Amino acid sequence: MTVSYSLDMSSVSACSFLRLLFRWRGSIWKSITTELIVWLCGYYTVMFIYRHLLTGDSRRNFERFAMYSESKLAYIPLTFMLGFFVTIVVDRWRSIFQNMGWIEKLVVLIAFIRKSRKSEQLSSGH
């Protein structure tokens, strides 16, 4: 679904980015809400089980499994992939907002020129 933000960005202010970020319709939060809720439920379930239900030997086995999983994670350069992804997203957002400011200045200039030409035409009688 395409959501137009032109009207919201027509007046650039310090809070416009935050207003757009937390706007629900078509926002980033709407697209990740389900994944975020599932991840948080899983995290808190594992945390609750580890802290309240596991005892001595069970905790040690869980810790060994966690260490084993962490050692296997070293084969995947996760920080590199995440950094690359974040760089792409930030560059895309930066270019969008830089172009919006440029477009606003251009539109104001065109409107001013057009208005001045109309007033010249009216004063000349054509």
pLDDT tens, position by position, 21-52: 666 566 677 778 889 999 999 999 999 999 99
Residue 21: inside a domain? no
Task: Count structural domains, the chain.
Answer: 1
Could you tell me the pTM of the whole model?
Answer: 0.46
**Percent of the chain scored above 90 by pLDDT?**
26
* Residue 12 contacts residue 104 (beta carbons within 8 Å): yes
Mean pLDDT of the chain: 79
Q: What is the pLDDT of residue 84?
A: 85
Domain region containing 106: 77-126
> Is 101 among the domain residues?
yes
Written as six digits, the tokens of 98 are: 């830089």
Greatest Cα-to-Cα distance within the chain, rounded to the nearest angstrom: 96
29 within domain boundaries: no
The span from the CA of 106 to the CA of 110, in Å, is 6
The answer to whether the CB of 8 falls within 8 A of the CB of 20 is yes
In a domain, 55, yes or no: no
- Does residue 119 sit within a domain? yes
